[in-house]
Structure 1
Amino acid sequence: MAAPAPADFRTRLQDWLPKLVLAPSFAVTILFVYGFIIFTIFLSFTGSKMLPKFDTWVGWANYHRLFSLPEWNIALKNIAIFASLYIIICTAIGLMLAIFLDQKIRGEGGLRPIYLYPMALSFIVTGTAWKWFLDPGIGLENVMHQWGWESFSFNWIKSNTMAIYTIVIAAVWQTSGFVMAMFLAGLRGIDNEILKAAQIDGASNWQLYRRIVIPLLRPAFLSAFVILSHLAIKSYDLVIALTNGGPGRATAMPATFMYSYTFTRNEMGVGAASAVIMLMTIAAIMVPYLYAELKEKK
């Protein structure tokens, strides 16, 4: 058999080289992402405590116990409040900032980095900074008292009923600029001829945005919803840095519940079950979005 020609060998090498380079990363991703997802699902059906127990199969018992725990129900209530306010406020502020910057105002190049700067910080840094700012002893309330406003009170971070809203404030501050960038990209992608035609027909600015611009931003709205939902469901570091789930369980989230039951209370099976519920929630948001995107491309 004749040896392959150098040109054929070079062509085959060019075809296989990217695959060989990406193969280790692909294998690591398969193992440490999807492999551990399957492992977590398996653990949720076992009686694992401090360590995994592969020979103790309990079926759906961990899930039944999970939804009977008061801590889990509190976490679900908190995530419902946090996620709904976080998504709505971030979307509204991001849209307003994007419309503001889309007016071709002077200094836009300087304002954009200012709005986007919080997203460059980690949630740990954001939580720590807002914890200092909201602490009545050293933060805003203390400063106002030093300025002579003795009646000023802002102790939400110490209140069982209001602490959850401090999480919303910090999260909105960090993410609104990123949502603004998404909407601004959508606004800059709208055909100006459509807007000019509507203006010639006598449409006011309010009608222009309500009937043309905002409907055309539907992909940006959908993308913002998916990203914000994902960030809300897996929120852990911001909560730990800002309130540590307190006072009491006032700001406990499913992510903090999962960590507590898995690594602190040595209830690995229940913790794995809570992680699976979080995964299913994210999947329920992501799968329809990906399906719609792929269907639209086809």
Structure 2
Amino acid sequence: MTTIEPATASPPRRSFADNLRGWLPKLVLAPSFAVILLFVYGFILWTVYLSFTNSRILPVYKLVGFDAYVRLWSQPNWYMAMKNLAIFGVLYIGICISIGLGLAILMDQRIRAEGILRPIFLYPMALSFVVTGTAWKWFLNPGLGIENTMHNLGWESFKFDWLVNPDMAIYTVVIAGVWQASGFVMAMFLAGLRGIDGEIIKAAQIDGAPLTKIYRRIIIPMLRPVFLSAFIVLAHMAIKSYDLVIALTGGGPGNATELPSTFMYSYTFTRSQMAVGSASAVMMLMGITAIIVPYLYSELREKR
């Protein structure tokens, strides 16, 4: 006697409209993904390849090893650029985080003018670095800006010539950069402060802890992820700073405000040393990678 197998229900066939809805987002994003793949990652690989060649005005695709890197680290201007980056980076990151944290704590006190002050502090970040550099170039110009204004007010002994002083010019870049980025860092810290559970603060206040100790012992340590995020963002901005320096000082006086980004541009497009310029770009990429990769690793490790 034969048994009849029960028929298994086959899955319903998807209509053309269902398939189209599934593929439509991929089709829409495909051109953008292809462009990013080519013009970002493709040109990164191309730059890395050129750094191992002897390219000058035009690309040369014959590999010569690490010759461009040897020439790069034998350039006095490169050491000046690295020194200026260290000065600018340390002061820029440190001052921005300090001012941003202070402003965020001020805003966290629920002051009445918060709705007015917050956009004012954030406004500089809406400007391009070219606008910021040009504006501060006018402010700091001894013949036009602060020094000239003070002289016109009768304070003839006032002197503020940092913009034309080779020993102090790099600090004018710090001033302009801090002015633009501090409000953005304030917004990051303010978001972190508003995300802290208020019950923790109330419990500390019930125990009699003063407000300063609550911030120092409880709140600020809880902002560790915000500190790390702010450091990553500011370090990335410091390494790739170019337009701010060009608009403010042009890399001068002399090469007093030379940074790796301005060095890379000048050696690639002005001095016709494409291989050396590519090598400097690769060194900048390695610096950014050394900062971002540990951060991403720590974030993924915490999620696991």
* TM-score, scaled relative to structure 2: 0.95
Q: Which residue in 2 is equivalent to 1:16? A: 23
Task: Provide the C-alpha distance between the structure 2 equivalents of 1:238 and 1:259, rounded to a whole number of angstroms.
Answer: 14
**Matches of 1:249 and 1:26, distance apart in 2:** 39
Residues 222-249 of structure 1: per-residue CA shift (max 9 Å, x gap): 0000000000000000000000000111
Name the count of aligned residue pairs. Answer: 294
Q: Deviations over 1:18-43 (max 9, x none)?
A: 11110000000000000000000000
1:154 aligns with 2:197: no
Match of residue 225, structure 1, among 223, 226, 231 = 231
**CA shift at 1:50, angstroms?**
0.3
What are the equivalent positions in structure 2 for 1:1-298 lying under 5 Å apart? Answer: 7-55=14-62, 57-298=63-304
Amino acid at match of 1:255: S
Task: List gaps (5 residues or longer) in structure 1.
Answer: none
SS in 2 for 1:58: coil
Letter in 2 for 1:91: I
Counterpart of 1:73, as a letter, is: Y
Q: Distance in 1 between matches of 2:177 and 2:13?
A: 58
Offset of 1:9 from its aligned partner?
A: 2.7
Please give the TM-score of this superposition, normalised by the length of structure 1. 0.97
The root-mean-square deviation of aligned C-alpha atoms, in Å, is 1.1
Amino acid at match of 2:262: T
Task: Flag the structure with larger Rg.
Answer: 2
Residues in 2 aligned to 1:245 and 1:285: alpha-carbon distance in whole angstroms: 25
| Superposed CA offset, 1:78-127 (max 9, x none) | 00000000000000000000000000000111110000000000000000
Q: CA deviation at 1:10?
A: 2.6
Give 1:8 deviation, angstroms.
3.4
Shift of 1:293: 1.4
1:171-217 Cα deviation digits (max 9, x unpaired): 00000000000000000000000111111112111210111101110
One-letter amino acid of the counterpart of residue 23, structure 1? A
Identity rate, percent? 69
* Per-residue deviation, residues 234-293 of structure 1 (Å, max 9, x unmatched): 000000000000011100000000000000000000000000000000000001111111
**Structure 1: distance between partners of 2:112 and 2:210:** 23
Deviation of residue 5 (structure 1)? 7.0
Write the distance in 2 (CA, Å) between the matches of 1:233 and 1:109.
33
Structure 2 unaligned residues grouped into runs of 5+ = 1-10
**Runs of 4+ residues over 4 Å off in structure 1:** 4-7
Letter in 2 for 1:17: L
CA positional deviation for 1:12: 2.0
